[in-house]
A and B are shown apart, each in its own frame.
Chain A
Amino acid sequence: MKRQQFEDAALPHLNDLYRTATRLLADSTKADDVVQDVFLQAWKSFDRFEVGTNCRAWLYKILFHVVHHHRRKWFNVRMVKESEEILEQVAASPEPLAENLTDAEILSALDRVPQDFRAVVLLVDVDEFSYKEASGILGVPIGTVMSRLSRGRKLLREQLEQTAQSYGIGKGKLEGRTA
């Protein structure tokens, strides 16, 4: 009965969690493992979940906790510092970018955005969480969410511009490409 309640509340978010995890890790196999861990951890702590509160945000909070744990295990990376260093190299806001690109090109550009910024872009732009919810999920102040979102979007636009340049085409030609 309790498991049924949990599944009814949590399983509808499975696909969204998997897609976000895939982009956070840039690896679908690892995302598969992570999502299974998220559901197991959520199930184990379901007693502490308050029915009627935001189950989706709760699951995403667990997702980021599990991703953080796995990344330390898999990559042993210094996430924030590296991100901030790259951030400092970002130039002024680029010109508006044409978006007539393929899914693969967009996802590849997103994967090249440092994870801290990518995480906020995913939460706010893709999963449509409010700043307040994203702040709760990531455990950072709302101001940090806002600055990471702004910088993350800027970095994404830059990556997409680089993709366009790698084709040897200008923005005008990019407009005419088919997805």
Chain B
Amino acid sequence: MKLVQFGENTCARIRRYMDSYINNELLVETNHEVLRHLETCPACAAEVESRTRLKIRLKRAVQNQTVPEDLQARVHAALRQESHSSFAWTRWASAAAAVLMVAAGLWFELPRWTRPALPDLADRRGQDAFIQKVSTSLSAVLKVGLGDHIHCAIFRKYPKNPPSVDEMAQKLGPSYQELVPLVKARVPEGYRIILAHQCGFQGRRFVHLTLTNGSSLLSLVITRRQPGESMQALPISDHAAGVPVYQAAAQNYDVAGFETDQFLAYVVSDLGARQNLQIAYALAPAVHQFLAAVRG
């Protein structure tokens, strides 16, 4: 048996082992040596106790950090998106490359009328035709959201300096004004709300919030469900905290939709499928809960 030496040198040596002792990483013999020393040295025993308490306290502090509620849903969405991209890529890589080259050539070579150019702001018929053309590939229930986004967010002229968030909230009226802070708190950093109002398009009323990140526009569009309207027949992109979200692409726009008993809600942008869906996941649970509570 190894003889344990007491005194200052022993304390210094034991303290060198202390971190490994706390982590149970010492060999059995060394562990016993430390234990025997601690039984007879109150100073070292107090040091071990203090370090152990700090370790436990640190772990608790880190584990008490809040994890965003929608993080799992967003990771889920990103994985789903990645899976689809990988699948498409491996299956269609060479064909897609050829098509892309041809398409790129056509885009620049063919006359301008072959691609949907933005009509003049004063040309209401042209705007309607543009919306119809862009949304051809969408189901009727998703066209509703894209239509109002283009009609309102793309064609509308914004004031250079948007009103304050409070003013915009006031403009939305008492039933919907809480949507403004709710959305503001959930969109990624760098996005700001530039418009929040109620508007009309093709005979429907909409609650419409428009945001920008400086280069793209994104809308949250909400409207009351009409008889027979439902997203349930569409393929679900995924669930955001239990709320099914349905996304589809229409030319360079992506439309993510979700619904409550009374409302249809859409997140529409040209940010790309992944980013649009991520923002929809971030908004869907809270907006869904908010709309479920709207009465009247």
Spell out A's residues near B (CB within 8 Å): 3, 6-7, 11, 14-15, 18-20, 22-23, 28-29, 32, 35-36, 39-40, 43-44, 93, 96-99, 101, 103, 106-107, 110, 121-122, 124-126, 130-131, 146, 149-150, 153, 156-157, 160
Contact = CB atoms under 8 A, between A and B. Distances in A.
A20 B57 contact: no
B197 interface: no
Contacts of B65: 19, 22-23, 28, 103, 107
Given A32-B71, A96-B47, A125 B76 contact: no
A14 B75 contact: yes
Contacts of B251: none
A131 B23 contact: yes
12 contacts: A11-B75, A14-B75, A28-B65, A28-B68, A29-B189, A36-B75, A36-B78, A43-B79, A97-B54, A99-B54, A107-B61, A122-B62
Interface of B: 15, 19-20, 23, 25, 46-47, 49-51, 53-55, 57-65, 67-68, 71-72, 74-76, 78-80, 82-83, 86, 188-189
Interface majority SS (helix, strand, loop, mixed), chain B:
helix
Contacts of A93: 15
Contacts of B78: 36, 39-40
Given A97-B50, A131-B25, A156 B58 contact: yes
B60 to A, nearest CB: 7
Which of B23, B61, B72 is packed against the most chain A CB atoms within 10 Å?
B61
List 7 tightest A-B contacts by C-beta distance, closest first. Answer: A96-B50, A103-B61, A106-B61, A99-B57, A15-B67, A126-B62, A150-B19
Contacts of B47: 96
Interface majority SS (helix, strand, loop, mixed), chain A:
helix
B240 to A, nearest CB: 15
B15 A39 contact: no
Nearest to A146: B20
A103 B80 CA distance: 36
Nearest to B79: A43
A103 B50 contact: no
Contacts of A32: 68, 71
A125 B55 contact: yes
A14 B67 CA distance: 9
A59 to B, nearest CB: 12
Contact of A18 (B23, B71, B79, B83): B71
Contacts of A146: 19-20, 25
A138 B76 CA distance: 27
A44 B72 contact: no
Contacts of A150: 19
A44 B82 contact: yes
Contacts of B55: 125, 153
Contacts of B60: 103
Contacts of A99: 50, 53-54, 57
B139 to A, nearest CB: 26
B82 A43 contact: yes
Given A18-B67, A39-B75, A96-B46, A101 B19 contact: no
A23 B76 CA distance: 23
Nearest to B46: A96
A48 B263 CA distance: 45
A101 B50 CA distance: 13
A136 B221 CA distance: 49
Nearest to A129: B23
Contacts of A149: 19, 23
Nearest to A23: B62
Contacts of A125: 55, 58-59
B58 A106 contact: yes
A122 B23 CA distance: 13
B273 to A, nearest CB: 14
A19 B50 CA distance: 24
A7 B79 contact: yes
A125 B25 CA distance: 12
A36 B60 CA distance: 24
Contact of A106 (B23, B50, B57): B57
Nearest to B47: A96
A7 B238 CA distance: 14
B214 to A, nearest CB: 17
